[in-house]
Homo-oligomer: A and B are copies of this chain.
Amino acid sequence: MGNRTEISTLGEFGLIRHLTEKIELKNGSTLKGVGDDAAVLDYADRQVLVTTDLLLEGIHFDLTYVPLKHLGYKSAVVNFSDIYAMNGQPKQITVSLGVSKRFSVEDLDMLYEGIRLACDVYGVDLVGGDTSASMTGLTISITCIGEGEPGKVVYRNGARETDLICVSGDLGAAYMGLQLLEREKSVFRGEKDFTPDFAGKEYLLERQLKPEARKDIVAGLAKLDIVPTAMMDVSDGLSSELLHIAKESNVGCRIYEDRIPIDYQTAVMAEQFSMNLVTAALNGGEDYELLFTVPLTEHDRISEMEGIKIIGHITKPELGCYLEGRDGGEVELRAQGWNSLI
């Protein structure tokens, strides 16, 4: 485990300095980052996008099996994902931490290493934050600011009848990764030297522990000059997000079971756990894929885009929201997001 430096040896300002001293600003829109009462940004003729996420130990993450560096990376990336879901580009983040005495300076260094790596990969500047004591555990609050081109920011409420419903990547893997980690944790709790065998399941773990935001999809759409009519990222599960789009756009939708993209490792794992594969893919959550709608006229161009699957289409509102099974049967979509509150 190496050295352990108590946070108290640095003090509040010393800690902030320590954590932020290596930060190099990358974006022209960042005029002033860490080190004043507020960060100063210049967005000129762009629109400003703002999203925020609060992550609490014991609720959103379990440090028994989540390495701090991965946690930092994921905490940042899930915020970037929200900006991409507006068809925007993330540019700055602020990071606030609440930290109990259990954590050392080295622990926070690991967390920040993950955050910094995510910022490097996605070209984002860390411009501020707040670090304070906490009575219990670790609290991470991240706010991400991004830019959108006026007229090209994509909301949830623009889906229209006959639009195609598209999703990037594949679904359900992050949820299966979580099940896997939880199982190993409960079986082997207490056995210090046990290393669980995750061979052949790396993809599931990666999807859970180190998800990526779909910057490439947003870039791909821009290259083709396609602006989706509605878009969201899949954080609570496909069903839940589709129902949001349907409600906000005042439309119905129909998706097809055999079109839902699922990785083979996800399928194998569902089999092992005796879980319904489609239920996991629809409600698993934490996929951070992009769900979007485009006009029917874009069918051919979208079909040719790599990593995109057309899974159904938008209907009149009175037709409701349904999944058509492989056998032709219909099931009404329900929101049973993985992250049931309180």
Q: Pick from B11, B40, B139, B341: contact of A54, CB below 8 A.
A: B139
A39 adjacent to chain B (CB < 8 Å): yes
- Taking a contact as CB atoms under 8 Å apart, the answer to whether A53 and B130 are in contact is yes
Contact pattern, A 219-254, Cβ under 8 Å of B = 1, otherwise 0: 000000000000111000000000000001000000
In the complex, are the beta carbons of B60 and A146 less than 8 A apart? no
| Cβ-defined contact, A39 with B50, below 8 A | yes
- Complex alpha-carbon distance, A35 and B50, angstroms: 12
Interface size class of chain A, counting residues whose CB lies under 8 Å from the partner chain: 35 or more
User: Chain B residues near A97 (CB, 8 Å)?
Assistant: 54
Interface with B: A79-87, A185-193, A203-211, which one? A79-87
B156→A50 contact, CB < 8 A? no
Stretch at the interface among A41-49, A65-73, A272-280, A294-302: A41-49
Among A44, A132, A337, the one with the most B-chain Cβ atoms within 10 Å of its Cβ is A132
- Interface residue stretch chosen among A88-96, A164-172, A304-312, A316-324: A88-96
Q: Are B8 and A341 in contact (CB under 8 A)?
A: yes
**Given contact pairs A41-B48, A52-B141, A139-B139, a sample of 17 additional A-B residue pairs in the complex whose CB atoms are under 8 Å apart:** A12-B340, A31-B47, A38-B49, A38-B83, A38-B85, A41-B47, A41-B49, A42-B150, A44-B45, A50-B92, A50-B143, A51-B128, A54-B96, A56-B135, A58-B135, A135-B136, A135-B137
Residues of chain B lying within 8 A (CB to CB) of residue A40: 47-49, 86, 148, 153
B56 touches A134 (CB 8 A): yes
Residues of B with C-beta under 8 A to A101: 342
- Residues on the B chain within 8 Å of A39, using CB: 49-51
How many copies of this chain does the complex contain? Answer: 2
Of B7, B31, B56, B59, which contacts A341 at CB under 8 A?
Answer: B7
Per-residue CB proximity of A1-44 to B under 8 Å, as 1/0?
Answer: 00000011001110100000000000000011001111111111
A173 within 8 A of B: no
Closest to A144 in B: B38
Q: Is A131 an interface residue (CB 8 A)?
A: yes
Tell which of B11, B143, B155 touches A143, judged by Cβ atoms closer than 8 Å: B143
Q: When A143-B143, A248-B35 are in contact, do A50 and B135 touch as well, CB less than 8 Å?
A: no
Contact of A48 among B37, B42, B340 (CB under 8 A): B42
Which residues from chain B contact A53 at a C-beta distance below 8 Å? 96, 130
- With beta carbons under 8 angstroms apart, the residue of B35, B56, B133, B148 that contacts A342 is B133
Set of chain B residues within 8 Å of A119, measured between Cβ atoms: none
- Which single residue of chain B is at the shortest CB-CB distance from A341? B12
7 residue pairs from A and B, CB less than 8 Å apart? A12-B337, A37-B83, A37-B85, A40-B86, A41-B47, A52-B130, A56-B134
